[in-house]
Structure 1
Amino acid sequence: MNNKDEKPAIKLTVVQYLIVGILAVLLSGLWRLQILGANNYRALAEQNRIRKVPILAPRGKLFDREGRLIVDNYPSVSCFLIREQGHDIAPDLPLIARGLHMTEEQLDAILKHYRLAPKYQPLPLKQDITPDEVEFIEAHRDEFPELETVDEQRRLYPRDGFAAHLIGYVGEVSEDMLNDPKYAYYEPGDVVGKSGIEQSYDQLLRGADGSRDVVVDSHGREVGRLGTEPAKPGTSLKLTIDLDIQKAAELALGDRNGAMIAMDPHTGEILALVSRPTFDPNEFSVRIRRDEWNKLITDPNHPLLDKAIQAQLAPGSTFKIIMAAAGLQAGVAEDMKVHCPGGASFYGHYFKCWQKGGHGEVNISKAIYQSCDVFFYTLAQKLGIDKIAYFAQHFGIGSKTGIDLPGEVSGTMPSTEWKMKNYHQKWYAGEVISVGIGQGAVTATPVQMARAIAGITSGGVLRRPHLVFPDEVAPDYRQAMLDSYPGSGDSELKIDPENWQIITDAMAQVMSPGGTDPSAHLEGIDFAGKTGSAQVASNAFLARTGKTHVMKDNAWFVGVSPRRNPDIVVCTLMESGEHGRFAGRLAAQVIAAFVDKQRRLDNNLQEAKKATPVEVGAIWSNPKPGASPGTIEASELHGGHFFLNSDSAGHPSASSLAAFTPLAAGRR
């Protein structure tokens, strides 16, 4: 009987302990949930209740040097997918696709593209949606709470590809870019600059996105709003571009394939930059269609290539100005005279001159303005490749200029060291002959030639080309830009005043009746330059393939105004343009537009300061030699050249030659 009573008592005790254990587990779980994990679960609950909606920052605008708007923004609406609700939208894709005027394949491709993106990140389904697509989203809020509309500012570029290569375009950041440390702070779906100024100054232009917190119910529907973190707009930039000069360059080049660049040699400020063929950057401001993209990248004329900084071609006879500077500075060319019968033999080979019948007796000046090949063949033989390379490299040939645009190429300046390094072969003396006329292995870009000729006509002072005024950005950002776009930058190779005068006076005669481009003459404007025609293939190759009529010479021209210490340099490249004189006529249009504008500004300045005496010391005006030194009137200053006396005898010195130009408001 006692044994039977003990067994129920043990069972009851076991059950009691079991119940106590279960309660202890439940109480500990409740403790963990309500006490230890309170903050964590409260945060999770807030996330289920609060949704972050992005506020996209507008990009900074772009203005020209006078504050005129070049690139603006326009209001747009985009559709984003919010995935925080965990709802499977696969069954809803057909209806969403119809409402957004997309295909299911397009939507599926977008979802796959962002499959690794964090769940909290909204995914862009369609940009720049239409009003009826906005109405579709609003009408289906209950069915598709995951669809969110976001207001944003989208890029508005000039029409017809105006200044497209210098401005660039924006697009969605690619996966390759996201793997680059440079883009460490970007996320999938972000819009970034892809070329031109848009790319090089992207960090300033893009700003910082904001967000707003909205309260949603269990179905993801918005029921209220909390705080807002406003977006920080991007920094607007004033470019060195002059819209008037840019328009003149665009009109001058027209539909011809090639490039044109205009620069202020005093500062390196780019006044105009054109490349043809061009493209419409507005096509990229939303999302370019695949067929349009394929058309651009397969076009044999390469519309996306900025030929002003990326076309590395033989510079032809424009290189003869560098040869002349090298020959004069080396003491070889000043008294050198050559008879040109139409060709000459060097190292067992006969080299023709472009002028049938030749140029007769030729000195350095005549060789420049009549572009005598035989003279420069002979000069190249006397100098040798390494001495030519020394001077050419000091004038920036074979090096990037450091212009603040992405993708600049360096060109090539051959030398004995260059050939051994790249081809493991020695340099043969006969190879220098073609280099003497800007052919052979030497290649350059239009921006390099513009900077080189600007430096020579400025007495040997070369400036770093740039498109944004240095004071537009902070010093540390400016330094970062200089480090990001390395190049030869500012430099100087002082040219003797006598040599400087010989070269620049000969360049001015290029537009005379005895020069190679009299058709580019500008009445009343001190305009100097050099024509160039450069073969794209050897004569033997053209004869063998029969492509003489297809592979025509490239036409080059580099011009300055005035001839010494110029205020503007213009380099023109016409692909298959045949003759440099054709390129010279185009450059003359830009020079004329620049000078006419400066004269209008100067006249306005003179009207404001009529007959105001200006004490300038002893001045001799050119082209009015013999004028007495003393005080002159501001109304007498017309941007000519003036000799400032520097010796005790009161005579003008060639070493003190300087350009004296009245400064209009806002100019140097």
Structure 2
Amino acid sequence: MIEEKVATKEEKVSPLKLNMAQYFVVALLVILAGGLWRLQVVNAEGYRTQAEQNRVRKVPIMAPRGKIFDREGRLLVDNYASVSCYLLREPARDWSIELPMIAQGLHMTVEQIESVVRKYQFAPKYQPIPLKQDISPDEIAFIEAHRNELPELETLDEQRRLYPKGGFAAHLIGYVGEISENDLNREKYAFYQAGDVVGKSGVEATYDAVLRGTDGARDVIVDSRGHEVGQLGQQDPVPGQDLRLAVDLDLQVAAEKAMEGKSGAMVAIDPHTGEVLAMVSRPTYDPNQFAVRLSKEYWNQILKDPDHPMMNKAIQAQLAPGSTFKIIMSYAGLEEGVAQDMHVNCSGGGTFFGHFFGCDLHHGAVNIHNAIPLSCDTFYYTLAERLQIDTIAKYAASLGIGQKTGIDLPDEVSGTMPSTAWKLKNFHDKWYAGEVISVGIGQGAVQASPVQLARALSGIASGGSLRRPHVLLDGQLPAQYQKAIYDIYPGSGDKQVPLQPENWQIITDAMAETLNTGTAATAHLEGIDFIGKTGTAQVMSHLALARSGGGKRTVPNSWFVGMTPRRNPDIVVAVLWENGNGGWNSAKLAAQVVNTFVEKQRRKARNLLSSADVQKQKGNSLQNP
């Protein structure tokens, strides 16, 4: 009896243990209920999406990029049909084991494929990876023949850029390429994704948002092995907008021919509107090399070229303008009332601030009327001494020297117009009076680009009216979008500077004599009111030249800015020929474009007259049957 009582007592569970067991069961149920709540309520949409992704694949449909035409509707940039291979990263399939087979079929190395995949490692798994672009027919056949073994490979039809051959207008048009990691971190590309093709330079970059369009997509049903078994729907792509440039193809061809084999730039502008009629930079590059996949060999070739083929020298070359700056000096001297009655006897140079500054020739008696066509340095040394640097800087700045013009192309430079404030800010030093002498002939610290000089000198010839240069033909974009472009590329824009009519006449008549009896007489065009100013700018000091031993790169740069007619011109052409020697050489190049322009205008006028005669004859025949 005593033993039974002891056994019963030992078998009895204590209330504490029982309560602990109950609490544990309740806690477990709460955890399970919470997990079910998260799965079925809180995260239901997310898991539903993942489930959809397991059976529905989104295949992109690339939007064709807008075409680019010249001002008369002639095609400059087209698209061509291309096929690209994309890699689909299915969550349920380990495609990495197939890499050797994929690499062999696509004529790639395993390392190349792994490099591409690493680039997209943080992209969403449902986003296809562009594995190889513009694949060949045998690579397409390989993918089709291995659909069952390699369902992760997909071919997509795309439209790719087709640029003119030989780098024609390459710096103006630009090129496209795959967006870089640095670009993806910029605000401008906030809505872009890795793998997107974007404009990298020129018009392609400036108007990328207009040209690129909106991609579409197909929602296809796939089985557990990734094979397509049906289609749910399709969102069609929206093609990019076509654009017409202000460029005249005939003038562009003439400018390209004139600059062939040279290093430098040429730009032609309509001063009435600011429309860029032609733009050439040499040497050039082939944008088609960038449109698909750029080879290391070609990239290294253009990078090592000392003449910088990737630079658009029309807007990015910052060089001393030489004697073309004398037109700006003449404008400043006349408006200040200094140059009208100034007479200088040129005996081959002059002494200023204790130093002798030479002139190319002994010009004898020189005044403002013959100083421009003779390009007499002695006259402009004297004028610079009288005006002093801040007065010169005031007038030069009013014409946009030392400032961006605001042209709608990326990476324009501002150039340099020195002044006392400029030197103090940049060099923490005062301006010495003798430094102004070199500035007077466009040397020293003065630096300008061809597009700046074209705008400045044509502004003077237009009576003080300056227009913002632009490459897109007016009226194609909404006003708000156009204003946004101008905000992105700020500059001195449209403006009017004071210019007395009598001073306007003096300068333009003297520029006409430059092409008749002056420094550019060899570029004279018979029957055409062709005016301009030459410039020869040293690339190094006389001491450095003596030590260099000569060579091509020690030859002075050749400048010329010309226009027609002499007052309120219809076209202005600025030429920079690097190491081209005398400015008269560049004048001959500009003359080719001006002659092409005038002859074309005359043909149009004759055609209009002929059409009018035909209409008149038709009218007479109706009245007198």
Shift of 1:295: 1.7
Change (3 A) 1:261 1:100: same
Question: 2:293: which partner in 1?
Answer: 287
Letter in 2 for 1:437: I
Question: Is 2:53–2:126's contact at 8 Å kept on the other side of the alignment?
Answer: no
Opposite residue 261 of structure 1, the aligned amino acid is: V
- Secondary structure of the corresponding residue to residue 284 of structure 1: helix
Match in the other structure for 1:391: 395
SS in 2 for 1:472: coil
Corresponding residue of 1:501: 505
Find out whether 1:213 has 2:219 as its counterpart. Answer: yes
SS of residue in 2 equivalent to 1:529: strand
SS of corresponding position for 1:128: coil
Tell me the amino acid that sits aligned with residue 523 of structure 1: E
Match of 1:362 among 356, 359, 366: 366
Distance 1:547 1:21, change over 3 A: same
Q: Which residue of the partner structure matches residue 123 of structure 1?
A: 129
Report the equivalent of 1:469.
Answer: 473
Amino acid at match of 1:183: Y
Residue 417 of structure 1 aligns with an amino acid whose one-letter code is: A
Q: Is the 8 A contact 1:542 1:548 kept in 2?
A: no
Deviation, structure 1 residue 336: 1.1
**Counterpart pick for 2:605 among 597, 602, 605:** 602
Identify the residue that residue 337 of structure 1 maps to in structure 2.
343
What is the aligned partner in structure 2 of residue 656 from structure 1?
none
CA distance in 1, matches of 2:113, 2:213: 29
CA deviation string 1:53-74 (max 9, x = no partner): 0111111111110111110111
Q: Which residue of 573, 577, 581 maps to 1:578?
A: 581
Mapped pair 1:323 → 2:329: yes
Q: Which residue of 2 aligns with 1:178?
A: 184
**What letter corresponds to residue 596 of structure 2 in structure 1?**
A
2:382 aligned residue:
378
Select the structure that is richer in helix: 2
Deviation of 1:470 (Å): 3.4
CA shift in 2, pair 1:562/1:89, >3 Å: same
For residues 531-550 of structure 1, the aligned pairs below 5 Å read 531-547=534-550, 550=553
Output the CA distance in 2 between the equivalents of 1:582 and 1:595.
21
1:634 maps to: none
**What corresponds to 1:69 in structure 2?**
75
Looking at structure 2, the residues matched to 468 and 367 of structure 1 have their Cα atoms a distance apart, in angstroms, of 38
Q: 1:612 to 1:156 in 2, by over 3 A?
A: closer
1:449 aligns with 2:453: yes
| Counterpart code for 1:493 | V
Q: Which runs of 5+ in 2 are unaligned?
A: 617-625
Q: Does 1:510 align with 2:514?
A: yes
The runs of 5 or more residues in structure 1 that have no matched partner are 614-668
Task: Please say if residues 161 and 288 of structure 2, whose CA atoms lie closer than 8 Å, have aligned partners that are also in contact.
Answer: yes
Structure 2 partner of 1:408:
412
Give the aligned partner of residue 83 of structure 1. Answer: 89
The alpha-carbon deviation at position 155 of structure 1 amounts to 0.4
Distance 1:354 1:49, change over 3 A: same
Give TM-score, length-normalised by structure 2.
Answer: 0.92
Aligned to 1:436: 440
Pairwise CA distance, 1:119: 1.3
Pairing partner for 1:161 from 147, 161, 167: 167
**Aligned-residue CA RMSD in angstroms?**
2.5
Q: TM-score, normalised by structure 1?
A: 0.87
The structural deviation recorded for 1:585 is 0.4
Equivalent position amino acid for 2:484 in 1:
A
Q: Larger RCO: Structure 1 or Structure 2 (Cα < 8 Å, ≥ 6 residues apart)?
A: 2
Contact residue 91 and residue 125 of structure 2 kept, 8 A: no
Q: Which residue in the other structure is 2:619 paired with?
A: none
Percent identity, aligned pairs only, is: 61
Q: Does 1:274 align with 2:260?
A: no
Q: Could you say what secondary structure the match of 1:441 adopts?
A: coil
State the one-letter code of the partner of 2:585.
Answer: F
The CA distance in 2 between the partners of 1:40 and 1:409, in whole Å, is 50
Alignment CA distance shift 1:230-1:5 (3 Å): farther
Q: Establish whether residue 590 from structure 1 lines up as the match of residue 596 from structure 2.
A: no
Change (3 A) 1:26 1:519: closer
Are the counterparts in 2 of residues 397 and 448 from structure 1 also a CA contact under 8 Å?
yes
Give how far 1:40 is off: 5.1
Is the CA contact 1:399–1:488 (under 8 Å) kept in the aligned structure 2? yes
Q: Which amino acid aligns with 2:426?
A: N
* Residue number among 173, 193, 197 corresponding to 2:199 in the alignment: 193
Aligned to 1:350: 356
Residue 84 of structure 1: CA displacement? 3.1
Is structure 2 residue 526 aligned with structure 1 residue 520?
no
Structure 1 residue 298 displacement after superposition = 2.0
User: Is 1:80–1:124's contact at 8 Å kept on the other side of the alignment?
Assistant: yes
The letter of the residue matching 2:301 is K
Alpha-carbon deviation of 1:401? 0.2
Cα pair distance change 1:494/1:609, threshold 3 Å: farther
Does 2:558 correspond to 1:552?
no
Distance 1:310 1:369 in 2: 28
Equivalent residues of 2:327, 2:372 under 8 A apart = yes
Equivalent pair of 1:85/1:146 in contact (CA under 8 Å): no
Letter in 2 for 1:521: H
How many Å separate the matches in 1 of 2:588 and 2:324? 15
CA 33–515 in structure 1, closer or farther in 2 if over 3 Å, else same: closer
Residue 302 (str. 1) matches residue 302 (str. 2): no
2: CA distance between counterparts of 1:51 and 1:449?
A: 56
In 2 relative to 1, CA 459–216 (structure 1 residues): closer, same or farther, beyond 3 Å?
same
Shift of residue 88, structure 1, vs aligned partner: 2.3
Count of aligned pairs: 605
Per-residue CA deviation, residues 178-220 of structure 1 (Å, 9 max, x unaligned), is 1111111111111111100001111111111111100000000
Give the superposition deviation at 1:335. Answer: 1.5
CA 1:326–1:409 in structure 2 vs 1: closer, same or farther (change >3 Å)?
same
Aligned residue for 1:234?
A: 240
Paired letter, 2:221: V
What's 1:419 paired with? 423
Residue 6 and residue 98 in structure 1: after superposition, are their counterparts in 2 closer, same or farther (change >3 A)?
Answer: same
Deviation at 1:27, TM superposition (A): 10
Q: Using the TM superposition, give the Cα deviation of residue 43 of structure 1 relative to its aligned residue in structure 2, in angstroms.
A: 3.4
Q: Distance in 2 between matches of 1:134 and 1:612?
A: 59
What's the counterpart of residue 658 of structure 1?
none
* More deviation, 266-275/548-557: 548-557
Give the letter for the 2:546 counterpart.
A
Q: Which deviates more, 135-144 or 588-597?
A: 135-144
- The secondary structure found in structure 2 opposite 1:76 is strand
Contact 1:403 1:467 in 2 (8 A): yes
Counterpart code for 2:186: D
Deviations along 1:270-321, one digit per CA (max 9) or x if unpaired, are 0000000000000000010122112212211100000000000000001011
Report the secondary structure of 1:470's partner residue: coil
Question: Residue 519 of structure 1 aligns to which amino acid in structure 2?
Answer: T
Aligned to 1:142: 148
| Change in CA separation of 1:306 and 1:33 when aligned onto 2, cut-off 3 Å | closer
Contact 1:85 1:220 in 2 (8 A): no
Q: Point out the more displaced range, 109-118 or 198-207.
A: 109-118
User: In the alignment, is the contact (CA less than 8 A) between 1:460 and 1:492 conserved in 2?
Assistant: yes
Secondary structure at 1:334 match in 2 = coil
Q: Distance in 2 between matches of 1:9 and 1:38?
A: 47
CA deviation profile, 1:480-538 (whole Å, cap 9, x unmatched) = 111100000011112111111111111111111x3111110111111001111000101
Structure 2 Cα separation of the partners of residues 282 and 401 of structure 1: 29
Q: Quote how far apart the aligned CAs of 1:117 are.
A: 1.7
